[in-house]
A and B are shown apart, each in its own frame.
Chain A
Amino acid sequence: MIAKWLSACDRLQQSRWFKIVASVIVVAIAAVLFISYSVASAKARDAAMAPVREAQADLRKQAEEVEAAAKAQGTTLSSEELNRPLDTMDATARVVEGIVSAQHSVAGVGAGLAIITAVALVVIWLGLGITYFALIAACAIVLGSVWGLERLGAIRGVLPIIMPPLVGVVGLMASFTALMRLGALLLSASNPVFSIARNVLTEAVRLRVSLVFIILLMFSLAALPLLLTQDQPLRYRVQAFLQYATGGSFLLIALLIVLFSVATVATEQRDKIIWQTVTKPVAAWQYLLGKWIGVGTLAAVLLAVSSSGIFIFTEFLRRQPAQGESSAFVASDTTQMMSEDRLMLETQVLTSKTRVGLSRPDIDFEALDREIENRVKTEFDNLQQPLGTTPEQVAANREKLANEIREGLLKSVDEEYRTIAPGGNQRFWFSGLQRARDSASPVILRYKVQSGGNMPDQMYRVTFAFPGGNDPPAVVETPLDQPQTMRLSHRLIDAEGNLVVDIINGDIERGTPNPLSITFPPEDGFELSYVSGSFTANYFRLMTVLWVKLLFLAMVGITASTFMSFPVATLVAIVTFWAAEGSNFLLKSLESFETQTQDGKTLWINMGIGKIAEGIGYTFKIYADLRPTSRLVEGESLPWSTLLFGTVVLLLVTAILYVIGVYIFRKRELAIYSGH
């Protein structure tokens, strides 16, 4: 009964006459509101100006009386003397009128009303008039009831808790409905590809499984802000929100897309619905392309809704007071322009920064090769038994040993380069900073000091000197094993884009060294960064990456389901998803994956597994290297070039999968299916 009623409402809101009538009503209401407001503000303006007018009239009257009195006494007053108070009053009246007019301006209200009316008309013509009205009404009823109960004293403090998630859910649902309808409108052309794509959108909304995912996504996003700890520094709150909201929503959307892309093709084959479609003039390429466009549109809608919600809430968080601020953007310490928390938030998180790593030290590779040769020779001389039975085997093992020694030596050189003895100093180079220099962007040095056992209560005093500038060396007191940042001027960068830092293990002012050697580990970055774009633009690029990833995953699911049953295709698609997401971790893990025993025997099974894992890791490396979520959380810029390269590669792989899918689909006998 409810379904029937809802269906009738939907038909009503999509009918042409309803749209016309609703539009007329909306425009009429807007006009009435505007006219009423104009009249009311004119009255208010008049009321506000009435005392001034009265004062003007009184002054004029007084002037006339003075003039008359002067005439009666036979004296003559100059017009300047007579009019001076009047002129002053008129000038005052003009100023007051200006202020009152600004206070009761109809232009601003008119513009706001016009925007709201335009949005309402768009909603009505998308066929969502009743849906939106019902959503807003339901929301208003719930909030009104809670407000009423609070006023009556039945409950207390509930409104501030339920209002944000409720408004959030309603907003997200409303956006989702509008975008889905817009997507369906864009796909309403009468041809097989668009028709199939549009049908996929309908299927997504009407199938319970996908609807559950969508509702879960909306509620999770709306409820997530409640989980943020208020006493944390603002930057951590923002980072936590971005991490969980973006990562979580992408995970949910990706799982939905994978499952749905498989289901929409595999279940049609299982239930033989596909017979009805492929016996129409629909080619295999059209069918699969239609499915992909449909799933891609669904992904775009879901991503647009969730990312808009995340963006809006992030901007809301940004406008909250940070630690060390009396109000948003106003530091409690008046001697500082900006609190530390705010600085970190604006320069490290809600930004688009480019990171520049430490340049490797100059290495004498000839000397390195000699050293490697010597060490290999020593190893061979000390061997109890030969490494291999044939000359080829010996040569291969020798080369392998040389590579291991090379890697070890380079690692040692790097560690040595990053380590400074007590009282000693080391010079570090960062290059490729021309853009920061040209744009005069401030540069942030990020570092972490490690020493001995990294006692948490121990503080080291470290001196930083910058040969490129005129400032005296800076002595910094830093805790151990904690990431730190230092703001540097772009003037420290030389013409070639290099920035040089001399670091002294000790306090140069006091002349006291630290007790132990210090190291700047490569993890957690010993790096420079500078702002190279806006957070908004970077956010958009990162969301584009997520969408491209979803498009790729959709094609994986569709291709898999052209020749596999639903469970098998789902498994394959999900494994592909995890492999792609974790390929960098996989490659890193392989570094410590043993394929040989201590005595040099090959573990063939491990070798096979390792090779497969390596293949998977390198296949999806580009996918994983894009790292949209971690880039977003760290405020790291995704350059257009990287975005373009990643997009082209992923779409190329998607196209290859599509061609494979079409080939299989054409060869398949669709009336034979083993998916039951």
Chain B
Amino acid sequence: MTQAGSTVQTGLRPSQAGRPSAGEPVVVCSQLTKTFKDFWMRDYAKAVQTLSFEIRRHEVFGLLGPNGSGKSTTIKMILGLLTPSSGRVSVFGKLPTDVTIKKRIGYLPEESYLYPFLNARETLDYYGKLFELDHRTRGRRVDELLDMLGMTGAQFRPVREYSKGMQRRLGIAQALINDPDFLILDEPTTGLDPIGTRQIKDLIIELGRRGKTILLSSHLLSDVEECVDRLVILYGGTKRAEGTCDNLLTTQDRTTIETDQLDEATIAEIDRIVQARTGGKQSIRKVSKPRQTLEALFLDIVEKAKTEQVATSGATSGGQTAAFLRAGEDANQLQGEAVIDKLVKGEPEPAPVVTPAAKTSGPASASTEPAAPVRKDGVNENLIGDLISGTKTVEAQVAKPKPVESEPVKTDSVDLSVIGKLINKSDDGSGEAKS
């Protein structure tokens, strides 16, 4: 680096920090295909087609796709709940139907299918016994999990009386009862309130940090973006993209320059040089590496797939909400806000797990944002603010391009050699300072 004080974002995700290095694959899917047949054994839906990917040890792996893209089907084949029509899947080097590997797996289905007549404690005790955990270990883990998920007060109520969010929490608890090496989470935040969602994300990050291998399936992009190391995007049962978040989200033909704070004159001077060098065709837009959002990438892929007329047995983009449902839209919106307000204004909520990761609201905030105030219950105040406003601004503030000043900039105060070096460096193809 030639510019003093400038920094380069490494793109290291919170879940990767201090993590054991990735090793042999936990899951190997090779040319995996699943076709559902009707009563007469005729094909009626191709849920997954020639899907290949690996999940390496100690990584948080995302499985992304719209509804019906084959995420859950893939997970069910990994778990042995479905048999592939063709292709091969192995988990810990064995077939998914092998009972021995299941001691190392924790699974949360897309809905928490629980015994309605048991209470939370009995549920966890039951699943603990299936793993042959001894009485003492079982009791300790049940207590800890109930405490972690804020369910201690409701542990003796039958599950059928639980709200969907509470059932989800219990579902997560049962998936963790065996302290699994490989955790499969299918839409883990469905039905959870914003704080519960935050807790689960923090939990995933923390588990990833502790070396667990996690398969996270979701169509909620923010869930995945925050937590995963690598991901696969599915549409219509086929793989549309695969890679790390950075690979997929970084725009390679742009450059972000980070320095200590520059005054406006310096920036104007740099801009003037850029304009001078390019004959007024180019100018500085922003001084940070631009980043495409995951959502944009996702939508782009889906749109592209649509234009290619890829068949899908799942849902496609819907139209307007039906008239009878839109009738009470305003009222519903107000109600929703009231609920969020209630959640935020100190309604008794379970204490979240305060982890190092929980103190950061996102990967981009690690180095540029001042430490966010943390409430007594461990919830990040900035995050709450973001939730209330309905937008997620923490990353956006960092990445937001600084508006170009309209007034003329002075050229005499600019060190042209610095700019020249920067421009030359961009020519070597590293992409570090390309504008």
Write the residues of chain A forming the contact surface with B, with a CB cutoff of 8 angstroms: 4, 7-8, 11, 190-192, 194-196, 199, 202-203, 206-207, 271-283, 666, 669-672
Contact = CB atoms under 8 A, between A and B. Distances in A.
Contacts of A271: 113
Which of A7, A191, A271, A280 counts the most chain B CB atoms within 10 A?
A280
B36 A191 contact: no
Contacts of A11: 156
Interface string B335-369: 00000000000000000000000000000000000
B379 interface: no
A247 to B, nearest CB: 31
Contact of A276 (B82, B103, B174): B174
A280 B111 CA distance: 17
Given A11-B156, A190-B129, A190-B134, A279 B117 contact: no
Interface of B: 36, 76, 79-83, 97, 99-100, 102-103, 105, 107, 109, 111, 113-115, 117-119, 122, 126-135, 138, 156-158, 174, 178
A276 B106 CA distance: 9
Shortest beta-carbon contacts, A-B, top 10: A195-B129, A206-B117, A671-B81, A280-B130, A281-B102, A272-B113, A671-B76, A279-B107, A273-B113, A281-B103
Nearest to B123: A276
Nearest to A669: B82
Contacts of B109: 272, 275-276
Contacts of B135: 190
Contact of A203 (B83, B117, B131, B157): B117
Contacts of A203: 115, 117
Given A190-B138, A192-B129, A276-B114, 13 more contacts: A190-B132, A199-B126, A202-B122, A207-B117, A276-B127, A278-B81, A279-B102, A279-B107, A281-B100, A281-B131, A283-B99, A669-B82, A671-B81
Contact of A192 (B36, B105, B132): B132
Contacts of B111: 272
Contacts of A196: 130
Contacts of A281: 99-100, 102-103, 130-132
Nearest to B108: A276
Nearest to A205: B117
In terms of DSSP, what is the predominant structure of the interface of chain A? helix
Which of A11, A191, A199, A671 counts the most chain B CB atoms within 10 A?
A671
Contacts of A669: 81-83
B82 A275 contact: no
B81 A275 contact: yes
A402 to B, nearest CB: 50
A199 B124 CA distance: 12
A280 B81 contact: no
A280 B115 contact: no
13 contacts: A4-B157, A190-B132, A191-B129, A191-B132, A195-B126, A279-B79, A279-B102, A280-B130, A281-B131, A283-B99, A671-B76, A671-B81, A672-B82
Given A190-B129, A192-B129, A280-B102, A273 B114 contact: yes
A127 B138 CA distance: 21
Contacts of B138: 190
Nearest to B96: A279
A639 B109 CA distance: 54
A461 B133 CA distance: 79
Contacts of A283: 99
B154 to A, nearest CB: 11
A273 B115 contact: yes
Given A190-B138, A273-B113, A275-B109, A195 B130 contact: yes
Which of B105, B118, B131 counts the most chain A CB atoms within 10 A?
B131
B305 to A, nearest CB: 25
Which of A8, A194, A273, A666 counts the most chain B CB atoms within 10 A?
A273
A46 to B, nearest CB: 56
Contacts of A280: 102, 127, 130-131, 178
B1 to A, nearest CB: 50
A565 to B, nearest CB: 13
A30 to B, nearest CB: 32
A4 B134 CA distance: 29
A278 B100 CA distance: 12
A278 B102 CA distance: 9
A202 B121 CA distance: 14
Contacts of B118: 199, 202
Which of B76, B122, B130, B135 counts the most chain A CB atoms within 10 A?
B130
A195 B102 CA distance: 17
A227 to B, nearest CB: 35
B290 to A, nearest CB: 42
Contacts of B113: 271-276
Given A190-B132, A272-B109, A670 B99 contact: no
Contacts of B127: 276, 280
A489 B119 CA distance: 67
Given A202-B117, A273-B113, A279-B107, A672 B36 contact: yes
A432 to B, nearest CB: 54
Contacts of A670: 81
Contacts of A276: 107, 109, 113-114, 127, 174
A279 B79 CA distance: 6
Which of A272, A281, A669, A670 counts the most chain B CB atoms within 10 A?
A281
B133 A282 contact: no
Nearest to A271: B113
